[in-house]
Each structure stands twice: as C-alpha cells, then as structure tokens.
Amino acid sequence: MTINMQKTLKQTKTKGKVVIDNISISYFNRNKNVYALRDISTTINPGEFVCLLGPSGCGKSSLLNGIAGFVDPSKGQFYLDDKKIMGPRPEMGMVFQQYSLYPWKTVKENIAFGPSINNRGDESPEKIAMNFLEMIGLSKYANHYPNELSGGMQQRVGIARALANYPDVLLMDEPFGALDSQTRIIMQENLLKLWREFKITVVFVTHDIDEAVFLADRILLMSTLPGKIKKDLKVDLPRPRDKETTDSSRFIELRQICHSLIREESLKAFDKQNQL
C-alpha cells in the first residue's frame, strides 16, 4: 500500500456512522399499501461489520437500499455521519450479487472509473486502480475484460471498484450468493482482510447464517414482513477469523441462535401465506 493510500485511510477511519431513525418503507401492491419495513431504529458505528440476516422477503435489501439512498423512507430518516441521506453519495460504495461491471471496459478501467469522477483519492485514477488490483491479486488481469474472468474474480474486481472511491461505508447485497461454496469461503476471508486494512463500516446482506456469523461484529436478525429488528446479536468471536473459527463451540452456539430465530420467522411467513 502506498503512503498516499495509508494517509487517506487514516483520514476516513473515524467516519462511517450510520443512524437508522424510526424508519418505515412501504410500497403499493394491488392497490394496497404494504410495509416492507416498519419502525426500525439502530446505530451502526464507524468501522463496524454488520450483517442483515433474516428469512426471504423480510426487507433486508429494502433497508440496505434505503441506507444507500436508492429508496426514500415513508417515515423516519437515515443519517451518515449526522447528515441526512437524501440520495446516493460518494461516501458510500455498493456491491451487488450480480457483478455489474462495465463489459466494454477493461478491469483496470472499471476500477479507475469512480476515482476519475469522484476525485476522493490522492493519486491518479490509473495508479489507484493498479494499487487495488495488486491488493486483490489480479494485477496481471488489468487489461482483461470482465467476460474473460471467473465469477469470483469479477466479484473481487467489483469490491475493488467500490473501495477505489475510498468510501466511508461499504454496502453489500448478497455479494457472494452466486459463487460456489469453496470460492465463497475464500471471498469471505479476502473481504475480512480488506476490511481490516481499510477500517471502514460494512453493512452486508445475506441469507446464509454461517456467513453472517463468520463475518460480522453484529447481526441484525430481521422479522418477517413488515420487517423489524427482532434481535441485535453481538458476535463475540475473536479476530482474525479463519477455518478454525467455524469449528469453535461459540460459533456453533451463535449459529444455533440465528437458526432458531429465522426458523420461527419463516414459519410465521409460511402461516401468513396459507391464510391468504
């Protein structure tokens, strides 16, 4: 890592506080107002790794999109570092499950695109791109196009592209959901390494219990619609984490807590559907 990159990280590591203040998000479906989220409040502190976990359709992605500024709340307000979130902001990076790279741009050009617009780094966009390619181990693929890379490699580029803007918050919507199990584990370990390096806030949506327990400082377990925070679970596993972490008795205990709560909410959702 260059001196300029280290300087930028030191400047941003105390930023990235997300406040979710009494948020409700609703939408119209068949002429009815349906709540995806209702009366959610919590604070995510700078540098925390927080996972949103819950049954399908519980509003995890709606909450993430609200934080990102893509969706306006029906009630309440989102804040980033005490400023209202009124729309997408360069201080927040987003990584989706689909790789969403520009197919007509090379890997290096994809990563350099954000810095060329936002000007949040101290070096040239090309230099920033090469620094991040080295960090994710893909320097020799700088001039390749996305369709020449595997799924795991494309997602590494997607994460590097988000980080190249030096965001204070990284938002991730099931980014490893389409990967095979072994690649997924490697990507989780690589993500934790980058998170330790950058010391930024991460909000990570997943439906995978093991993934949430392995990655997170806190897990926000969400109820079925309308989505609420059913439990704010502290993950008190030591860091750094590796394969041995998943064999520990505490990991198994935390996984069981999550499993029981999600099963309870999934059964509620199933019962509601049967009553319709």
CA distance 73 to 140: 44
Residue-wise pLDDT for 71-87, tens only, equals 999 999 999 999 999 99
User: Rounded mean pLDDT of the chain?
Assistant: 89
pLDDT at residue 120 tops 70: no
Torsion of CA 75, 76, 78, 81, to 10 degrees: 160
CA distance 17 to 79: 8
pLDDT at residue 3 tops 80: no
- Going by C-alpha positions, the residue among 180, 199, 232, 238 that lies closest to residue 52 is 232
Residue 26 CB partners (closer than 8 Å, separation 6+)? 33, 34, 35, 36, 74
pLDDT at residue 117 tops 90: no
pLDDT at 34: 83
pLDDT at residue 221 tops 80: yes
User: What is the band of 11 on the pLDDT scale with cuts at 50, 70, 90?
Assistant: very low
Residue-wise pLDDT for 131-180, tens only, equals 999 999 999 999 999 999 998 999 999 999 999 989 999 999 999 988 88
Q: Determine how many CB atoms are found less than 10 A away from the CB of residue 272.
A: 11
Residue-wise pLDDT for 17-49, tens only, equals 999 999 999 887 777 788 899 999 999 999 999
pTM of the model: 0.90
pLDDT at residue 7 tops 50: no
pLDDT over 70 for what percent of the chain? 91
| Residue whose pair of structure tokens reads 């918050």 in the numeric block | 169
- Return the higher-pLDDT residue of 4 and 230: 230
| Residue whose pair of structure tokens reads 């064999």 in the numeric block | 247
Residue spans of beta strands (DSSP E) within the chain: 18-29, 32-44, 49-53, 75-80, 83-84, 92-95, 169-173, 201-206, 218-222, 229-234
Please tell me the least confidently modeled range out of 3-12, 21-30, 53-62, 266-275. 3-12
Mean pLDDT across 230-244: 94
183: tokens are: 């690649």
CB 254 within 8 A of CB 213: yes
Domains and CATH numbers, the chain: 3-91+169-180+200-275 (3.40.50.300)
| Residue whose pair of structure tokens reads 């992605």 in the numeric block | 61
Mean pLDDT across 98-106: 89
For residue 166, the SS3 value is: coil
For the sheet with 169-173, list strands across it: 92-95, 169-173, 201-206, 49-53, 218-222, 229-234
Please tell me the least confidently modeled range out of 74-88, 95-109, 118-132, 220-234. 118-132
User: What is the band of 13 on the pLDDT scale with cuts at 50, 70, 90?
Assistant: low
